[in-house]
Amino acid sequence: MLRNRLLPWFTLSALGLGALAGCERSPDAPVAAPSAPAVAAVKPPAPPAVPDATAVAKLASHFFQAPRGEAPLPADTEAQVALGRMLFHEPRLSKNHDVSCNTCHGLDTFGVDNKALSDGHRGQKGSRNSPTVYNAARHIAQFWDGRAATLEAQAEGPMMNPVEMAMPGAKHVEATLSSMPEYTARFRAAFPKERKPVTLSHAAKALAAFERTLTTPSRFDRFLAGEHAALTSSEQRGLEAFVTTGCTTCHNGPAVGGTSFQKLGLVEEYPKLTDAGRFDATKNEDDRGYFRVPTLRNVEKTGPYLHDGSVQDLPTMVRLMGRYQLGRTLKDGEVDDLVAFLKSLTGELPPAERIS
């Protein structure tokens, strides 16, 4: 069984967890009077032992490497970030002035709207689930099919998408922003060297600058930094299972995912899969059924799951990935530990004044 197999890696003491002994009465203690309750003697918790540093380092190594070919992040300015924050919440970037980026990627709900398919222009729904914007700067590409190589390229797409924000074109976006004095002033501050600061391209750069600030440090980061008691014994068992069962083949790097494209149904054909995935972007038949691997940070909070939002709960998602991606039927205890580990990836949202 998984739990027994883990003992050479992590004992309770090695996990830094004190063991609380059961209550017992000392044999030398006097018998209490009938009217007085018996007092139980409790042994103090054993001092935590130092974890096996080699084992921990081996587990942690899967989450340090950067995505392949990752370029250095741009030197965003405070003015660009502040402008991007405004634009992210701006419904006037949509045709009917009723949909903003935050509509589908709620920053107070971990960057999603918790709907299978989001509501866009005139209530239309697209064909794919809205992924979280938190930690997206660590992704190898944007959108499920990876059609946008950068956050800047991604930011332009929804504004002109007829199902999402439905703006007629770049000139319409620029005219809308130029009609508001505060925006013209903020664009000048954000792009002071540009002859024409208010452009769609600059709006996308500002949005990307803001989104690069959207990170969610978690207890898992404290564990990676050496605070091994930051994860419980079940979470550490789940981490070990996550690595040894092969989950890190796809879900690796600082974002625990987002670094590659993978076929849905790698080992066994995924049932009723009609979405062509990355093929839609590349028209390469070899990319049919491939999707950008999502980040697992905050996965406890970002359901429903998959490109179509068809899976409602995390344990079911874990079982499906075990079967179709790894060829394994996971036992209940394994699923419990894996889910426990995944919940440790839930991080802290930025301060309310930064995301409201």
Q: Which residues are marked as active site?
A: 164
- How many CB atoms are closer than 10 A to CB 180? 13
307 contacts: CB under 8 Å, gap ≥ 6: 128, 129, 144, 264, 275, 277, 291
Question: What proportions of the chain, in percent to the nearest 5, are helix, strand and coil?
Answer: 40, 5, 55
- How many CB atoms are closer than 10 A to CB 288? 16
Q: How many residues are listed for the chain in this entry?
A: 356
For 219-235, b/e burial (b = at least 16 CB within 10 A) is bbbebbeeebebbbbbb
Using alpha carbons, list the distances in angstroms from residue 112 to 83, 235, 309.
Answer: 21, 25, 12
Contact (Cβ atoms closer than 8 angstroms) between residue 203 and residue 165 = no
